[in-house]
Every structure is written in C-alpha cells, then in structure tokens.
Structure 1
Amino acid sequence: MPNSRTARPEIPSTVWLARGRHTGNRPDEALRRSLRRLKDAGDIDDFLELPADDTAPDLVFESRTRVAGEVTVRARLTLAPGTDRGRDWTLLAEAEQPWQHAWPSPAGMFWEQEADADWHHDPATGLLPGEIHFLPEDDKAVRRLLRDCARDPWHIHVVVHEAMTTDERGRVPLARWLPPGLRHRVVEHRALPQQSRVANWALREFGVEVPRGGAAVLPGAPAPDGYEADAFAVRAVFLDGTRPSGLVDAVTRFDALPRALPDGAREALTALREDWHLLSLEEELARERALVTMYAEALEAMTKSRDLYREAAERAHEALAAYQDAPTAPPPPRTPPTPLQHLTRTLDRLRPRRAPSRTSEEPAPEPRTTAPER
C-alpha cells in the first residue's frame, strides 16, 4: 500500500468531525426545527443561527451542550448552498477534554435522526453511513466505488465479505454494535460470496485484502501513521446476529490513529475556535476581561514607546545645541613623520646637487684672464 504521509496538521484529540449531504427539501428548516426541539427538551443548552450573506454564502448553526456531567461541547455546522444533488454540510465539535466514543454523536445536536433520513448521505459515494450497502454487480463499478472509498478521509469505510448467503440475522448493520461517537461515520460495504476476487482486485493498489468470510478497514487518504493493512483485517466475521467483536475493535483502533485534517476541516476548525458567537454569561465575562487586559497591555506598550521616543528626542536636541555653541575646532595636530619618511628626507639632503643646465638663450660666461707670473 502506498504510504502517503503529509505535513498537514492532525485532528486534535478533543475534536469530532463529519460531513454529509442532505438530499431532501429545506434542510435549513429541518435544522431549525430540530434545534428548537432539542433545546426545549434540555438536550442542548442553546443554539444560534448565523445567516448567510454575499460575503459568506454558507449558513452556519452553532450549538452548545454538556456531556458526561460537566464537559462542555461546542459544535458548528456549516450548510453550503444547494445544488441539484442536495446541500453539503460540515460539522466540527470540540470538547473541553479528549473525545470519548461513548459520548453522544454531535450530529444529534442538529438533526432529527429518526424523523429525517435525508441528512446523512456520504457526499463521496451517496451512501448512508450506518447502513449495509452491497457492492455493484459490474466489476468496473466495484473498482470505481472502492477506490473512492479507500481515499475518503472523512468516513471510515469497511468491506465485509459474506462467505455464504446470509439470512435476516446476518443483515444487522455494523453500526448497531459501534459506540455512539462512531455510528454516523462508518460506511459498511457488503461483498457477495462470488465478489471476493473482484473486491480484492479493486483494493490491490492500496495493499488491502479482504479475507474470505472476513472484513477490512480501508485506509483513507492520506493513510494515518500506524496503519498496516494486516492489522486492520479481520479473518472471520460471523454474520449470525452476534456482536462482531473483532471488527468493532478494528474500527475503534483505526479511529484512534493520528490522522491528518481532511481538506476543508482546517478552515472549519479555525472558525469554530476563533469565530464562535454562542457564548454563555461566564464566557462573555471572560472574553470582556481578556479584551480589557489586551487593551491595557497595548496602552502600556504605546506609553512606553512614547516615553522612549521623547527621551531620545531630548537627547538629540541637547547634542545639537552643544554642537552649535562649541568654538571653532582647532586644526588637527601634525602627525610626526614615520621612520621611513625621516630616512627619505635624510637621503635627499645627502644627494649631490647638479649644476643647472644652460639654455641656448643664456649668454655664455666670459673667459677669465689671469695676470702673467713675474
């Protein structure tokens, strides 16, 4: 299997994330109706709607609740504009502590799960997480489907091979046995007895093999650190209505691996943390105190900078005044000659002097006559 590691940030341990597509009519109305009902029932503390505009075409809903007693969970759902295939949504939730699979699914903070079955289609495949989906009959269609599923970083895709035709007891979805935090994120594919070879042919490029009568958890893209195909393949899954312990364990272990944030999740996480509007009274007070502290620090820094500038300006004026009042500076002292210069001058004095040469215009000197000797 190709090991595609990236430098993208990992999903924090406190974060739960999912995405889906609502294929019905008026998902915004479904969200408002569900949120009002959940707040009236006390299942969530509060919710807030941020309407779309020209600069932000997505509709945003925020919801806050508490799990496990007093652990606050903040969740933000972004609903994209509609297309002919429906409206895609992205959901990120963050708790004050590392996320526990036993906690309720954050999708339940927004959608009416029983009354509305149109909200949780997988955008990559169009399939419903938490349900059983049999592979297509056409081999090429099987390959296209499983290649898309093996690269999907948002959902956990599981392929289960039926060694023999099952009855109603074997048609129990895997999601029934999963903890609440995983049920809306797992897509289950079933391969009929005669589809074992085509399923493994489709998954060969990822190094994944589904054992006959077993199952395999697909890697996603990029594959998380620590993923080994053999470690997440289950040799036997008994489709007799009993809990598939080995498969549940494989899915849970896979979800615990450090995984990179999918495309689009980083921006959603930043918005959840930095553009949060649904504040409690305590959070409002804490936010105001933080603003006051920030402004006080900024004012102190500005005052200190002003004082330093004033002090520097005063020193510059004093130095300029002292320079203007000072007398004319004396000439620089003569530098004594170096030993080499002294020796050169001495040699110049000892050098013999030549008589100056006579030019043609100068008169020749008269010959000197001497008196005859007596």
Structure 2
Amino acid sequence: MTTLRPVGMSARRTAIIGGLMVATGPLSLTLYAPALPTLVEDLGTTDAGGKLTLSVYFAAFALAQLICGPLSDRYGRRGVGLVFFAIYVLGCLLCTIAPTLEWLFVGRFIQGFGVSAGVALSRAMVRDQFTGSEAIRILTLINLILTVTPAVAPTLGSIVLLFGTWHQLFIVMAGFGLAILALLSLGARETLPVTSRQPFNPAVIARNYRRLLASPDFIFPSLLLGLTFSGFHGFTALLPFILIDDLGLTPFQFAIALLVQTASFISGNLVVSYLSTRISGARLVEIALILLAISGLGFAVLPQLFPGSVLAIMAPVGIWMLALAFISPSTTAAAMSGFGAIAGAAGAMTGFFQVGGGFVGSLAAGTLFPDARTALVVQLPVVAVLAIAVALMDRRRH
C-alpha cells in the first residue's frame, strides 16, 4: 500500500480531506434520523429496535478503529482509508436491500466498521504533520467541515422520504462513500513516510495501547472527549422520537429544528478557530465545562417546565453543541500530543473513546429508560456532571 506520491499535504488539503472523511460518520446517523419512526413501522419492530440500529453502528465504529489505526501505522493512511471506505460502501448497499431488522443490523455493523477510518485516519494525518496550536487550528477546521453534513443531511433525508422510502437513504450514503474513495484516490497524498512505519504485530499493538491507557496525559482528555460525545449521541438517538412522535413534528420540521444544533456547532467552531491562537487549549476546555453545566441544567429543568415546547428541548441541545465545539479539538490535540511515533494508534484510541462514548450514550438512551423524554431529562444531566468531575480530577492531578 505504499505510494510514489510526495509525502505530506498542506493544512488546507489535510483539513478538507480529513473533514469529509469524518463527515461520513454523522451522515450515516443524521441522514436517516427523520426515517426512524417509519423504519420502525415498516420492519415491524419497536422504538428500542430502531435505536439499536444506532448502537450496532457505534459498536462496530468504536471497535474497528482499534484495528484501523495500527494498520495505518504499518501500511500508511491513504491505502488503509481506501480499503475501509470500500467496506463502508458495501455496508450501505446491504442496508439498502435489508428485508428485516436483523439484516439491517448486519449492514449497519459493516457500515460502522468501514466508516471508522474517518476519525482514526484524519487525526493521524494531522498528527503526522502538525502539532500544538497549528494542530488545534486544523482539527477545528475539520470540525467546521463536519458541521456541513448534519446541517444538510436531515433536510436531504426528508426530501428523499417525500419521493421514496428509507431504503433510498442508504443509496445516498453509498454515493457519499464512493465520493470519498475518489477523493482519496485522486486528491490525497500519503502523510506517513515509509521510514516512520510501525510493524503490524499484535504484541507491539497491545504494548502501544497499554502505553496509551497507562498515561494520565492521554486518558483524562480522552475520557472527557468520550463523555461529551456520549451526551451528543444520546440525544441524537432520542430527538426523532421526542420531536416527531411526542411533539408531532413532520420529518421536514424535525430537520428544521435540528438547524439549532448545527448552527450552534458552527458558531462554536468559528469562535474556537479565532481563540485557538490566542488562549490555551486548557482555557478552551474550561469554557466548555461551563457550557456543559448550563446545558445539563437546561435538560433537567426546561422539558419539565415546558413539556410542549420544541425550544425547551433544542436550547440545551444547542448549548451542548457549543461545548462540544470547544472540547473536541483541544482534548484531541492534548491526548495525541506526546504520541507522534504511534499517531495511528493514538488516533484510533481517541476515536474509540469518542465513538465508544456514542455507543454507550445511544445504548443507555434506548434501553435504560421507559421513554425518550425521561431518558433526555435524566441521562444528559448525569453525563454533564461526570464530564465536569473528570475535568476537575485532571486539574487536581496537575
């Protein structure tokens, strides 16, 4: 999988390619979010069954990164990306023809396995070439590109549903995967020199992961990242059922409501992009923790006081997304800063925490509570408290 192309890319090209790779993950979530209630009805399952299609996807996404990262340390970022995104396209096509919920689970698992390359490889590509405030700036640019997908995907999904069924949504995902394959083939350069590659040896891989997990400098920012994304994916799994089933929004109205979430994330990334060269990553995290506290309190109180209000749901969501914009690049850069020699493994492990948090958050939201609204007002405040506790423990350690 080596390449004769020049090694390395500009900051802009790295951000664009990395952002589009990462965007495939939320595309596979938000594009079909408006169709979840319909999917549940068509396949004769329950709301819990519909939410489990998210959990299966997250489980594969999280676990496959632990394979993808070391493979990229051995064979390079570009070649491994081509293989994994081809697997993603196959998963999309299987979901398209899935006749039962069980087959949809299989397709979603394959999708999650393939799309894992997006997070692991984009971070490794950044770490291969950039460090410090420059790395935070590029990771912030990647987040900005990432926000375009959840802004467009629910609306696009609603339009597709007007003229077709949920099956066609997976064809759109397959098309996006094919576009990523073309981009990697024609526009990407390898960022990992042959001389820097690590052997793909189970003992070496295990040793690298033990090194990461034994390092407080890695584990604390990764835990904070995982908890924040746990909350994000928790309410991602819940919002279709609250806004469409409980509050009676149409799929298109649901997509419009999600613009609050997207606008908040875009605004947060713009602010972080400006601040990243002016204040430290630690200060960015402090701002994020204040936002998480406000959001957690909002989730606990506002839906109870205004049970019929869309804004009572979406206002805490928007504040949480602001916090996510502040936390994600800073904690990712902090976790990977001391592990340039094993950037693929470090990127994979941070991705494991991030997506593993999403798996736990979506699974808890779908199985531990009697209904979606109860899950929202209990789970999100608890996650906010846990995230703040982890950050305070890290500060005490320093």
Tell me if TM exceeds 0.5: no
TM class by shorter chain equals under 0.3
TM-score w.r.t. the length of structure 2 is: 0.23
Asked which structure has the greater RCO (Cα within 8 Å, sep 6+), the reply is 2
Q: Which has the higher helix share?
A: 2
TM-score w.r.t. the length of structure 1 is: 0.24
Q: Which has the higher strand share?
A: 1
